[in-house]
């Protein structure tokens, strides 16, 4: 196999308590099977169970520590090499503990041990290690397949958002070319930045600062069309380095401008609030409701805005799971969209 594999894909995190607990329970089940095979159910030897459990748990815990180190420090390499290194590591751990038992504890804890016992332990370890590594491989394939399917799903949802700002912006630029070429040129540059962002890989996370910069470019384009009717109030109490899925906030602002500002002769204020807490990132976008406008929840499908909001919801659920919440409040004066998703820390640099 020529392609390289990250050891973290194959080896689970055995430095974490859940993984170690799973190995301990698995090894205890194996010990019970071995005792039942040797002594039977009615004559179950609790003394032998205790001694064998002690021996097996030492192998399991030391082996887990070795695999944890391999997972952290091995570079990307062939899957076959990673598997071979893991297999050899577990065999060496068992061989070392077996020799230690033979030479140090033969007459203290166990009796009648010899090289046959050593070879039997090595064979059992080889079989169990091979089965365990095969299980790790199957789990890795399942994770990679799920990740690939998720990426395809997010890509499909992501691609459907792109036309919203593109078509509206092109109309603005076309109207400015003969009236104000300089503003038209700036609008083209802003649109280019937005379109480049939309072509990035689906599901990519950017810093909040980058997302806000894209939103301001979009607002600049809309301000050319709406003029003083469009006012934006920013209330940002979050670090510029926190992560946010690309093009999450921009469609919300577009929806607010399309439904709340554009239909109103007097315009209004779009309020954008971002709050960071230890566990969540909260986004709230509010716009005025024009007196003669239909409720935003009942807009026609051809506008595409409800599709954009639905896509944002699906994208966030795909990326963060069921911890994402997205609610809408529509009263006589304001329409508010609020999103909360897990705060996974600072953007990696």
* Region 24-33 average pLDDT: 84
Q: CATH second-level architecture of 160-342?
A: 2-Layer Sandwich (3.30)
> Minimal CA–CA distance to 264: which of 291, 234, 282?
291
Q: Which residue has the tokens 């799973």?
A: 22
Q: Is the pLDDT of residue 212 over 70?
A: yes
Mean of the per-residue pLDDT values of the chain: 79
Strands (DSSP E) found in 68-177: 77-78
Query: Locate tokens 């960071």: which residue?
Result: 276
Report the alpha-carbon distance of residue 248 to residue 257 in Å, rounded: 15
Average the pLDDT over 68-87 and give the result: 88
pLDDT for 245? 83
**C-alpha to C-alpha distance for 348 and 244, rounded to whole angstroms:** 12
Average pLDDT over residues 106-120: 62
In the chain, the N- to C-terminal Cα span, in Å, equals 31
User: Does an H or E element contain 281, and which?
Assistant: strand 280-288
pLDDT score recorded for residue 275:
92
Q: Which of 223, 226, 300 is nearest to 263 (CA)?
A: 226
Residue 53's pLDDT is 84
How far, CA to CA in Å, does 213 sit from each of 217, 221, 277?
A: 6, 13, 22
Cβ–Cβ < 8 Å for 56, 27: yes
> How far is Cα 4 from Cα 20, in angstroms, rounded to an integer?
27
Q: Identify the residue whose tokens are 């071979």.
A: 84
Judged against a pLDDT cut of 50, whether residue 2 lies above it is answered with: no
Angle between the 115-159 and 79-104 helix axes, to the nearest 10 degrees?
Answer: 150
What angle (nearest 5°) sits at the alpha carbon of residue 241, between those of residues 337 and 280? 45
Residue 301 is predicted with a pLDDT of 38
Report angle CA 344, 345, 349 to the nearest 5 degrees.
115
Tokens of 280: 């969540």
Query: DSSP labels for 222-283?
Result: HHHHHGGGEEEEEEEES-TTBEEETTSHHHHHHHHIIIIITT-TT-EEEEEEEEE-SSEEEE
C-alpha 283: how far from chain center: 19
- pLDDT value for 287: 94
CA quadruple 68, 73, 77, 81: dihedral, nearest 10: -50
Lowest mean pLDDT among 138-147, 161-170, 267-276: 161-170
- Exposed, middle or buried: residue 338 (CB in 10 Å: 0-12, 13-18, 19+)? middle
pTM of the model: 0.53
User: Is the pLDDT reported for residue 274 higher than 90?
Assistant: yes
Nearest-angstrom CA–CA distance, 302 and 167: 13
- Backbone phi, psi, residue 268, to 5°: 165, -165
Alpha helices in 74-114 (DSSP H): 79-104
Mean pLDDT of 203-221: 86
In eight-state DSSP terms, residue 259 is: I
* Residue, of 193 and 285, whose pLDDT is higher: 285
Domain ranges in the chain are 4-147, 160-342
pLDDT score, position 232: 95
Least confident of 42-56, 97-111, 252-266: 97-111
Q: What's the mean pLDDT in 135-144?
A: 82
Look at residues 236, 232, 270, 251 and name the one whose alpha carbon lies nearest to residue 194. Answer: 251
pLDDT band per the 50, 70, 90 thresholds, residue 166: low
Per-residue pLDDT of 288-332, as tens digits, reads 988 765 555 544 433 445 666 777 777 787 777 778 888 888 887
CA dihedral defined by 94, 96, 99, 100, rounded to 10 degrees? -110
Query: Is 232 in contact with 270 (CB distance < 8 Å)?
Result: yes
Residue 298: its pLDDT value, please?
43
**Can you give the pLDDT at residue 284?**
94
Residue 293 three-state SS: coil
Using CA atoms, how far apart are residues 30 and 229, in angstroms rounded to an integer?
73
Q: Lowest-pLDDT range, 19-23, 80-84, 188-192, 193-197?
A: 193-197
pLDDT of residue 236: 92
Q: Is 240 in contact with 208 (CB distance < 8 Å)?
A: yes
């Amino acid at each position: 196999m020529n392609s390289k594999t990250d050891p973290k894909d194959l080896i689970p995190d055995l430095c974490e308590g859940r993984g170690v607990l799973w190995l301990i329970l698995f090894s205890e089940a194996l010990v019970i099977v071995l005792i039942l095979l040797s002594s039977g159910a009615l004559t179950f030897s609790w003394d032998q169970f205790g001694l064998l459990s002690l021996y097996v748990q030492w192998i399991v815990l030391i082996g887990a520590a070795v695999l944890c180190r391999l997972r952290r420090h091995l570079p990307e390499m062939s899957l076959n090499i990673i598997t071979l290194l893991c297999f050899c590591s577990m065999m060496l751990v068992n061989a070392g503990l077996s020799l230690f038992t033979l030479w140090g504890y033969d007459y203290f804890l166990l009796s009648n041990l010899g090289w046959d016992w050593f070879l039997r332990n090595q064979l059992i370890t080889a079989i169990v290690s091979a089965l365990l590594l095969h299980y790790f491989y199957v789990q890795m394939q399942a994770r990679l397949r799920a990740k690939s399917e998720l990426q395809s799903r997010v890509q499909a949802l992501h691609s459907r958002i792109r036309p919203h700002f593109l078509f509206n912006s092109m109309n603005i630029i076309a109207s400015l070319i003969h009236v104000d070429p300089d503003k038209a040129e700036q609008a083209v540059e802003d649109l280019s930045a937005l379109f480049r962002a939309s072509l990035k890989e689906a599901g990519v996370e950017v810093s909040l600062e980058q997302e806000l910069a894209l939103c301001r470019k979009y607002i600049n384009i809309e301000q050319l069309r709406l003029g003083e009717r469009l006012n934006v109030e920013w209330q940002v109490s979050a670090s510029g380095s926190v992560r946010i899925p690309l093009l999450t906030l921009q469609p919300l602002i577009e929806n607010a401008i399309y439904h709340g500002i554009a239909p109103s002769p007097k315009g209004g204020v779009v309020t954008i609030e971002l709050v960071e807490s230890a566990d969540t990132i909260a986004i709230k976008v509010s716009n005025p409701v024009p007196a003669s406008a239909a409720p935003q929840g009942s807009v026609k499908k051809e506008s595409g805005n409800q599709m954009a909001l639905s896509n944002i919801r699906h994208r966030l659920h795909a990326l963060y799971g069921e911890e994402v919440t997205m609610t809408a409040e529509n009263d006589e004066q304001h329409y508010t969209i609020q999103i909360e998703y897990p705060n996974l820390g600072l953007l990696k640099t």
